[in-house]
């Protein structure tokens, strides 16, 4: 899942300063699961914004709404509020939701209420940790199921870097050295050949070096196209 954290309140208040009537829009997807951007949070934030405005001696009408997902067209039909009747929408979805909604409502400023951070797993109550960076060329098969892109601070494809200190990462001593973990996992699996094999440099065009990436399911795209004809 994608993890997104709410922006600091003062940043949100400054963003909304030119507007008098705003809609806080929650999303029922990942941000609801990580308890940062769902319906409850939208309601709470709308109340906090009204209060902050009152305390600052300004008038602000702040309503809230929530849809199942802000990254899919069909769910916008379920909006209770019409975004076009507001000066601005504060979306508390991830960055994909904010941008997609901007395309659907080009006449309304759609503002980001969140900082979108990483692909995570829920490792303990209230704790989400980064596990994947969407690099587009997964190498977990030969790294013992541990991602070197996220679990190594330098995202090395051939580790370790030599700076490992008592099992900790030299860049971030709070974390285990990802490459040491990979080594130990491969050793336990009897797969140290994978560790010794020198890997070629990664093709960053599959990552963020090649512009916007797309997933196209050919059959589905073709049947949709013929249905539209
Ligand atoms: S290797 Fe790439 S796709 Fe696989 S888990 Fe790591 S970042 Fe994600
Ligand atoms: S100490 Fe380990 S995790 Fe840290 S940068 Fe070096 S190889 Fe990567």
Q: Within the chain, what is the greatest distance between any pair of CA atoms?
A: 68
**Are residue 46 and residue 105 in the same domain, yes or no?**
yes
**109 lies in the same domain as 18:** yes
pLDDT at site 79: 98
Q: pLDDT at position 106, please?
A: 98
Select from 118, 152, 175 the last residue of a domain.
118
For position 76, which CATH number holds?
3.40.50
Q: Are residues 140 and 206 in the same domain?
A: yes
Q: Are residues 12 and 60 in the same domain?
A: yes
Instruction: Say if residue 27 is in the same domain as residue 64.
Output: yes
Residue 18's pLDDT is 96
Domain of 193 in residue numbering reads as 135-210
The confidence score (pLDDT) of residue 210 equals 83
**Ligand 2 centroid distance, CA of 151 (Å):** 8
Mean pLDDT for each consecutive 10-residue tract of the chain (229 residues)?
97 97 98 96 98 95 98 97 98 98 98 97 96 96 98 97 96 98 98 97 88 91 77
The answer as to whether 177 is a domain residue is yes
Mutate to test the pocket of ligand 2, among 178, 181, 184 (most ligand atoms within 8 A of CB): 178
pLDDT at position 208: 82
Please tell me whether the peptide bond between 108 and the residue prior to it is cis, using omega within 30 degrees of 0. no
- Residues 112, 177, single domain; the answer is no
> Rounded to the nearest whole angstrom, what is the distance from the C-alpha of residue 199 to the centroid of ligand 1?
15
Ligand 2: centre distance to CA 179 (Å): 6
Is residue 94 domain-resident?
A: yes
The answer to whether residues 22 and 47 touch, using CB atoms and an 8 Å cutoff, is no
Say which ligand is closest to the CA of 158.
Answer: 2
Q: How far is 26 from 70, CA to CA, in rounded Å? A: 8
Q: Both 88 and 173 in a single domain?
A: no
Q: How many domains in the chain? A: 2
Strand-strand pairing, 88-91 and 110-112: parallel
CB atoms within 10 A of CB 36: 21
Same domain, 103 and 140: no
- Can you give the pLDDT at residue 219? 86
Q: What pLDDT sits at residue 220?
A: 86
pLDDT on residue 138: 97
């Amino acid at each position: 899942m994608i993890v997104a954290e709410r922006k600091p309140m003062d940043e949100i208040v400054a963003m909304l300063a030119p507007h008098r009537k705003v809609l806080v829009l929650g999303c029922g997807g990942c941000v609801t699961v990580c308890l940062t951007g769902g319906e409850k949070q939208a309601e709470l934030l709308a109340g906090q914004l009204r209060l902050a405005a009152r305390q600052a001696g300004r008038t602000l009408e702040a309503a809230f709404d929530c849809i199942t997902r802000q990254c899919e067209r069909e769910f916008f039909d379920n909006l209770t509020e019409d975004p076009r009747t507001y000066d601005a929408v504060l979306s508390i979805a991830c960055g994909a939701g904010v941008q997609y909604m901007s395309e659907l409502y080009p006449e309304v400023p759609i503002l980001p209420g969140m900082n979108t951070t990483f692909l995570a797993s829920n490792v303990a109550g209230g704790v989400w940790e980064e596990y994947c960076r969407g690099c587009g060329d997964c190498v977990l098969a030969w790294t013992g199921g541990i991602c070197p892109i996220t679990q190594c601070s330098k995202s090395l494809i051939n580790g370790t870097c030599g700076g490992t200190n008592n099992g900790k990462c030299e860049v971030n001593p709070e974390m285990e050295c990802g490459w040491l973990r990979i080594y130990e996992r491969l050793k336990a699996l009897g797969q140290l050949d994978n560790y010794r094999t020198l890997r070629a440099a990664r093709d960053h065009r599959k990552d963020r070096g090649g512009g916007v990436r797309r997933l196209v399911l050919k059959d589905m795209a073709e049947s949709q196209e013929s249905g539209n004809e």
